[in-house]
Structure 1
C-alpha cells in the first residue's frame, strides 16, 4: 500500500508536467471503463471530444472563457491521454464502435451519478471527435442541442479531396504503421506541424507525456488506420448511418471554427460543412493550423462563448 504522501508527491509532479492543465480537483474517472475526464465549471453540459493524437490537454486554453457559463466535460478517448490504455480492437469498425460504447458509458455515468441533465448538451468536436461525436449524437436524438465544429469531418470525403500521403502510408502499410508506433513519430510531427504558433517545449512534452511508453501508443496508429476510404463502407455506415437511422441535424444551431492552414481538413472540407449547414455561424482563423484551439485560443474561446449566449 502506497503512503498518502507518496501519492501526493506523484500528483504534484504530474501536475507540474502539465502546464496550464486544470488541477486534480477537476479530474474524474468513469468507474466502469477507467475513462479519464475533466469536469470544470457550472451550467449546461459542454462536452469536448478531441482527436488523434491529442487528448483533453488540448482544451485547456478554451476553459477560462467557457467554464464560467458551461459545465465543461472533456474526456480522454480510450487509449489516449490519461484514460486507460486498453487492448482495443484492431479492426477499424470494431475499434470505432468501442469508442462509441465508451461515450455511452460516460453519458450514463454523468447523468446517473454526477448530476448532469440527460438532454440539452452542447457538443464540441475536433479531428476524430467529429465523426465519433456526430455518430453518437445521431444515435441519441435530443441529447445534444448545439454543435461546435473545429477542423473535422462527419461525412464521406467531399469530391476532389485527397488525404495527405503520409496518412495514407500509415493507414495502408502495416510496416509504416509499426515504425510510426515505435518512434511516436505521428504525435511528434503533429505537435510541431499542426500549429502555426509553435508550442513551448513544456507544452509539447505535456502532449506527449501519456504516450511516452510504446505500450501506450496503440490507439494512435489504430485511429490513423481506421481513416475511411472509398472501400471501407462498413466504417462509413458506422460513422454516418442511413437516413432513417439518424437524427436530422439541419435545425440544430451549429458553430464552425476553422484553422485555414490545416493540411488535412482543408477549405474543401469546410465548404462541405457550410453546404450542409448554411445557417451555421462560421469563423475562419486564417493564421491557425490544424490545432486551431492552440493557434487561435483567445479568439476561438470568445466566439464560442458568444455562440452559447446567442443559443441558450
Structure 2
C-alpha cells in the first residue's frame, strides 16, 4: 500500500524475464472486463487514480508504471533501453503475464491512453487487435505529428533546449523542470493542483537518476524517419484503420499546447464515429482539469 492522496491501492510487481531483474509496478484493482490505462511522460499510474476508483466496482482496472517511472525500477541504461519499442515490449510482456498467470481474459480489453501512452498502447493493440474491444483517447497521438516534421513555433525553442543542450540536461536532471512545469498552469493544466496532489506526481522523481527516464522520453520523440522511434509510430498510424469499427471515446483538453486541435482532427478522421467530448477550458491534463466531468462520460461509455 502506498501513501498518496486518492491512491488507496495495493501495489503489484512484475519481474520482467529478461535476466536484468527489472521490476515493473502496476495497479490491478477490481473484477470484470479489463480496462488498461497507459500513461505517458512525465506521469505515472497516479494519473489514473480517479478513473480506477470510479470503475473498479465493475471492471478490472490495470494501470502500469513504465520502467523508470512512478514506482517501477529505474535501471541504468546498460540494463534497459529507454525507447518506444521497449515500452511496447514491456506492455506486451505484462499483459501476457496477466492473461497467462493472473486470470485476465484474452479478449474484451478497453484501452485508455494519455500523452505518449497513445503510441505505446496502440502499438501494443496492433500486435493483438483481437484483444481490444474499446478505445479511450485523452490528448495523445498514435501517428506522426500532423504538423509535419517540425515542432510548432511556440514550442520549438523550449523543445530544442530540453532535448539537445547542456542547459536542458541541467534543467531536466538537476531541477526537474519538465515535470514541475507540466504539473502547474498554464502548460500542463489550467488550474493549480492541490499541493499534496502535485507532490504525489513529483514524488517518484526526487533524484537526477530518477529523472533520467523523463529526459529519455523527450529525446525519443520521433520527428522524422531518421529517429529510432519513427518506424513504430509510422506503422502504428498506418494500422489504425483496423480499429475504426471499435467504439471510441475521446476526451480532449482544448487548451493543450502540445497535443492541439490538429491531433484531435486526425483522431476524428481515423474514427469518424467516435464519441467526442471537447473540454474547451481544459489543458493537457484533462483528467485533472475536468474533475468528475469526464469520469461520468467514461463510465457511461463503458456501460453502453
On whether the aligned pair clears a TM of 0.5, the verdict is yes
Aligned to 1:279: 273
SS at match of 1:251: coil
Q: 1:211 to 1:279 in 2, by over 3 A?
A: same
| Correspondence 1:130 to 2:122 | no
Conserved? CA contact 1:155–1:240, under 8 Å: yes
1:22 matched to 2:8? The reply is yes
Q: Measure how far apart 1:140 and its partner are.
A: 1.6
Deviation string for 1:168-218 (max 9, x for gaps)? 332233542343222111001101131112101111111111110111111
Number of residue pairs aligned between Structure 1 and Structure 2: 293
Which of 25, 33, 39 is equivalent to 1:36? 25
For residue 70 of structure 1, the aligned residue among 59, 63, 72 is 59
RMSD over aligned CA atoms reads 2.3
Residues 189-228 of structure 1: pairs in structure 2 closer than 5 A: 189-193=181-185, 194-228=188-222
The 2-side partners of 1:282 and 1:89 are apart by 43
- Residue aligned with 2:113, SS: strand
* Residue from 172, 184, 187 that aligns with 2:176: 184
Partner residue, 1:169: 161
Q: CA deviation at 1:137?
A: 0.7
1:294 aligned onto 2:294: no
| Residue aligned with 2:13, SS | strand
Q: 2:72 aligns with which of 67, 79, 83?
A: 83
Classify the secondary structure of the residue corresponding to 1:308.
Answer: helix
Cα 1:258–1:243 change in 2 (3 A) is closer
- Using CA pairs under 8 Å that are at least 6 residues apart, name the structure with larger relative contact order, 1 or 2: 1
Partner of 1:97: 85
- Comparing 238-247 with 222-231, which one deviates more in the overlay? 238-247
How far the C-alpha of 1:247 sits from its partner, in A, is 7.1
Asked if 1:155 is matched to 2:140, the reply is: no
Once residues 60 and 43 of structure 2 are traced to their aligned partners in structure 1, the CA distance between those partners, rounded to angstroms, is 21
- Give the unaligned 5+ runs of structure 1: 1-10
Cα distance in 1, alignment partners of residues 227 and 172 from structure 2: 26
SS in 1 for 2:231: helix
Shift of 1:31: 2.5
CA change 1:257–1:178 in 2 (3 A) is same
Instruction: State the 1:308 CA deviation.
Output: 0.8
Query: Deviations along 1:271-307, whole A, 9 cap, x unmatched?
Result: 1111111110100112211101111130111111111
Q: Which moved more, 1:193-202 or 1:46-55?
A: 193-202
Q: Distance in 1 between matches of 2:285 and 2:58?
A: 24
C-alpha separation in 1, matches of 2:166 and 2:124: 29
Preserved contact between residue 171 and residue 227 of structure 1 (Cα < 8 Å) = no
Aligned to 1:8: none
Alpha-carbon distance change, 90 to 267 in structure 1, aligned in 2, over 3 angstroms: farther
Q: For the residues of structure 2 that align with 1:273 and 1:158, how far apart are their CA atoms? A: 10
